């Protein structure tokens, strides 16, 4: 609570309030200061109005809706004031309101300037509305701002975000002068569009690379599913002496999570601590997600509970609830949901998806129905993933007929994942007739998916209908459908090694196969553990050296 005596003289107040505004840290404090300004008739003065708008529109602790209401109360707001609110909305969860404020600005007869349009372009980029972006571009051309580099960069970003990477590149190639923002916008644009080859090509041509450049390329490889390459780029970044920031580490941790690379993920955590990077909510969520996906639940809980829990959101809780659920910590997952409700965080669709996953692992059919019904109760429309998870719950619990009826009564078409979950349940619980029906349906839906042929072939094998099973294998060959080989990663001394069945591309494949042949022969001879240990420690010591080197 701010303590300013009401008897303070006007001249003294005009000296005190600017200081209070500069030190303001919350909307509650701002509202108290604003009330004093209104009481003394000072709220329309430029020095005060600009500070109120700046804090409420742009501060992390602000409220852009408050800034918009205050703007409408000003007698003659300048273009600078309008720009503050437009900018505030462009970086908010409702960027479309930037356009609404811009329309109000034009109706009030206020002329936009060269700073107005980049914020509008950013809003169009966030909304991924190319038509809106083209309209903004047309106004830019009409008012002669085409050559402004700041505006050109924002247009490149806008077109790239809207998927028109070709026009973004045309603008980039037409620039007479480029800065790091120009290059970064283009690299990031290619990366977001999934064209990592073009992003990499442009990245290598950059005269100077900064943390944004590296982060964009790493994130591009992560989004393209090339996680090993993303980590390789990060290692190269470190050799150049460039320092990663929290944005970089979010992408790197995401790569580690997908690879299940716990050792590398732990090293990244250590990097964050050693370099004293700010543990933002997004970065904290990424750490929790990485540890959870790598099976290190205790470490995930440690990060989750660390620091202040005042700054939290549903995404962080979803990562922890989902991690617990995936690894079978069913009771803990449901307990955490109760804790989430106690602190009055509103669950979203992902929260309920994680809870349904927990119920599937725990065989909790009654609880699953409760959570599924909560979606409708809280005005959330169940997605296909929720239906698929519900089918999985019923199928795992052996209620395959109930699951089949559930699929038939759904308001949406069944997806392959739903039918696949039910097929698995049928196989596990001996419902082979229904399994055959589902296998045929899956083959119709995804005729190019190798797993669908294998799944139905397995059904026929259980029936001992070998001719049908063989016919499916032949059909795969005729269609040119090949079974995707399984692969695994093994972490050794901080490095990840990728292995595929019958693959000999690994640089130490000769030693690896030598050990495999040796072990196979020993198993065939039914050698006792003592002899096996002796041979491994003596005769095969040289071949085993690659494991520890």
Rounded distance, CA 54 to CA 427, Å?
62
CA distance 290 to 488: 18
- According to the model, what pLDDT value does residue 503 have? 67
Using DSSP, state whether 347 is helix, strand or coil: coil
Q: For 383-486, which CATH class?
A: mainly alpha
The residue among 171, 185, 169, 162 whose CA lies nearest residue 141 is: 171
Question: Which DSSP helix (H) or strand (E) runs through 455?
Answer: helix 450-463
Residue-level pLDDT at 151: 95
Contact (CB, 8 A) for 97 and 85: no
Could you give the CA distance from residue 527 to residue 545 in angstroms, rounded to a whole number? 23
**CA of residue 380 relative to chain centroid, distance:** 21
Encode 101-127: b = buried (16+ Cβ within 10 Å), e = exposed: bbebbeeeebebeebbbbbbbbbbbbb
Distance (Å, whole) CA 8 – CA 118: 43
| Contact between residue 456 and residue 436 where contact means Cβ atoms under 8 Å apart | yes
Give me the DSSP letters along 456-469: HHHHHHHHT-HHHH
Question: d(Cα 384, Cα 410) in Å, to the nearest integer?
Answer: 10
Q: CATH 1.25.40.10: which residues of the chain?
A: 383-486
User: What pLDDT is stored for residue 547 in this prediction?
Assistant: 37
Which residue in 379, 403, 399 sits closest to 390, CA to CA? 403
**Residue 259: closest CA among 500, 496, 545, 522:** 496
Instruction: Specify the pLDDT at position 205.
Output: 95
pLDDT tens digits, one per residue of 15-53: 677 788 888 889 999 999 899 888 888 888 888 899 999
What's the pLDDT tens digit per position in 474-491? 666 666 556 555 556 666
Report the distance separating Cα 315 and Cα 309, nearest Å: 13
pLDDT average per 10 residues of sequence, the chain (549 residues): 49 71 88 88 87 92 94 94 96 94 96 95 95 96 92 95 94 93 94 93 94 96 94 95 95 95 94 94 96 95 83 91 93 94 92 95 94 92 93 91 91 86 82 79 72 70 72 66 60 63 71 80 65 48 39
- Beta-bridge partners for 487: 500
Counting every residue, how long is the chain? Answer: 549
Query: Which pLDDT belongs to residue 491?
Result: 60
What is the phi-psi region of residue 462: left when phi exceeds 0, alpha when psi lies from -120 to 50, beta otherwise?
alpha
Q: How far, in Å, CA of 336 to CA of 330, rounded?
A: 10
DSSP for 171-238, written as a single string: HHHT-SS--HHHHHHHHHHHHHTT-HHHHHHHHHH-SS--HHHHHHHHHHHHHTT-HHHHHHHHHHHH
DSSP 266-330: HHHHHHHHHTT----HHHHHHHHHHHHHTT-HHHHHHHHHSS-SSS--HHHHHHHHHHHHHTT-H
Instruction: State how far the Cα of 28 lies from the Cα of 173, in Å rounded to an integer.
Output: 48
pLDDT at 508: 76
What pLDDT shows up at residue 543? 43
- Of 394, 395, 359, nearest to 374 by C-alpha is 359
Distances in Å between the Cα of 353 and the Cα atoms of 282, 295, 426, 522 are: 20, 19, 23, 47
Of the candidates 6, 36, 7, which has an alpha carbon nearest to the alpha carbon of residue 19?
36
């Amino acid at each position: 609570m701010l303590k300013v005596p009401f008897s303070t003289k006007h001249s003294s107040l005009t000296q005190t309030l600017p200081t209070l505004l500069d030190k303001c840290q919350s909307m509650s404090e701002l509202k108290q200061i604003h009330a004093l300004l209104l009481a003394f008739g000072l709220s329309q003065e430029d020095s005060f109005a600009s500070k109120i708008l700046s804090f409420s529109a742009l501060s992390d602790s602000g409220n852009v809706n408050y800034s918009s209401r205050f703007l409408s109360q000003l007698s003659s707001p300048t273009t600078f004031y309008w720009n503050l609110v437009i900018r505030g909305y462009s970086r908010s969860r409702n960027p479309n309101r930037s356009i609404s404020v811009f329309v109000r600005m034009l109706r009030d007869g206020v002329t936009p300037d060269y700073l107005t349009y980049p914020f509008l372009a950013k809003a169009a980029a966030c909304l991924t509305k190319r038509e809106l972006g083209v309209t903004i571009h047309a106004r830019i051309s009409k008012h002669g701002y085409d050559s402004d580099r700041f505006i050109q960069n924002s247009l490149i970003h806008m077109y790239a975000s809207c998927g028109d990477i070709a026009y973004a590149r045309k603008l980039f190639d037409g620039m007479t002068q480029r800065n790091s923002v120009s290059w970064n916008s283009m690299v990031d644009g290619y990366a977001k569009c999934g064209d990592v080859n073009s992003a990499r090509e442009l990245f290598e041509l950059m005269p100077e690379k900064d943390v944004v450049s590296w982060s964009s390329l790493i994130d591009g490889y992560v989004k393209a599913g090339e996680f090993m390459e993303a980590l390789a780029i990060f290692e190269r970044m470190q050799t150049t002496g460039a320092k990663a920031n929290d944005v970089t580490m979010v992408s790197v941790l995401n790569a580690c999570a997908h690879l299940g690379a716990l050792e590398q993920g732990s090293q990244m955590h250590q990097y964050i601590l050693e370099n004293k990077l700010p543990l933002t909510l997004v970065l904290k969520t990424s750490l929790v997600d990485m540890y959870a996906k790598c099976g290190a639940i205790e470490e995930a809980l440690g990060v989750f509970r660390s620091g202040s829990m005042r700054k939290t959101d549903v995404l962080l809780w979803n990562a922890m609830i989902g991690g617990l659920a995936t690894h079978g910590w069913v009771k803990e997952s449901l307990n955490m949901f109760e804790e989430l409700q106690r602190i009055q965080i509103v669950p979203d669709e992902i929260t309920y998806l994680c809870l349904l996953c927990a119920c599937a692992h725990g065989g909790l059919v009654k609880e699953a129905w409760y959570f599924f019904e909560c979606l409708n109760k809280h005005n959330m429309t169940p997605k296909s993933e929720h239906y698929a998870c519900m089918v999985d719950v019923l199928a795992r619990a052996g209620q395959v007929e109930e699951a089949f009826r559930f699929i038939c009564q759904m308001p949406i078409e069944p997806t392959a994942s739903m039918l696949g979950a039910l097929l698995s349940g049928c196989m596990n619980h001996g419902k082979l007739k229904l399994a055959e029906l589902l296998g045929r349906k899956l083959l119709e839906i995804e005729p190019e998916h190798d797993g669908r042929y294998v799944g139905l072939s397995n059904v026929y094998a259980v029936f001992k209908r070998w001719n049908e099973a063989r016919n499916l294998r032949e059909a795969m060959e005729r269609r040119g459908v090949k079974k995707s080989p399984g692969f695994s990663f093994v972490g050794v001394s901080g490095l990840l090694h990728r292995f595929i069945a019958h693959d000999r591309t690994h640089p130490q494949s000769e030693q690896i196969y030598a050990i495999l042949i040796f072990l196979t022969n020993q198993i065939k001879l039914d050698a006792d553990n003592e002899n096996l240990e002796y041979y491994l420690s003596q005769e095969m010591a040289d071949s085993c050296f690659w494991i520890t080197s």
